Amino acid sequence: MPESKLRFLVDLGVGKKLEEWLEKNGYDIKTVRSINPKAKDTEILKIAISESRMVITMDKDFGELVFKSGKSHAGVLILRIEDANGNEKVELIKKILHEYEDKMQNRFCVFQDGRLRISR
């Protein structure tokens, strides 16, 4: 697999199975769990920007921060898959990265209802 240009900051709710898959597949990741499990969303965005990392989260509040509050970001991927288990999340991220990785850098992305929307 070619070296990925995407670097990730994985939010708490996403789960260890997905974190482990990303790491095992050569992605440069950090986890909110390892930095500060109590970090506020604004802090998470600041860390992500300072390290050029895309936030992977299941927390739709990031949409509010970016679009309503105009917060900067280095990319956000919101997974709206509330009932998915760890294996389903891994399969989903494999598919998303396989199909869209080259279009996601510094973009705001939402996966919902079986499709990925990519905004600026």
Q: Containing domain of residue 96, as a range?
A: 7-119
The total number of structural domains in the chain stands at 1
Contacts of 118 (CB under 8 A, 6+ apart): 100, 103, 104, 107, 108, 109
Residue 39 has which token pair?
């970090």
- Per-residue pLDDT, 3: 54
Examine residue 2 and state whether it is found in any structural domain, yes or no: no
- Per-residue pLDDT, 11: 97
**Tens-of-pLDDT digits for all 120 residues of the chain?**
445 589 999 999 999 999 999 999 999 999 999 999 999 999 999 999 999 999 999 999 999 999 888 999 999 999 999 889 999 999 999 999 999 999 999 999 999 999 999 997
CATH of the domain at 78: 3.40.50
Examine residue 62 and state whether it is found in any structural domain, yes or no: yes
* 3-state SS track over 21-68: HHHHCCCEEEEHHHHCCCCCHHHHHHHHHHCCCEEEECCCHHHHHHHH
- Per-residue pLDDT, 5: 80
- Per-residue pLDDT, 43: 96
- Per-residue pLDDT, 1: 45
Examine residue 1 and state whether it is found in any structural domain, yes or no: no
Name the nearest CA neighbour of 113 among 75, 67, 77, 82: 82
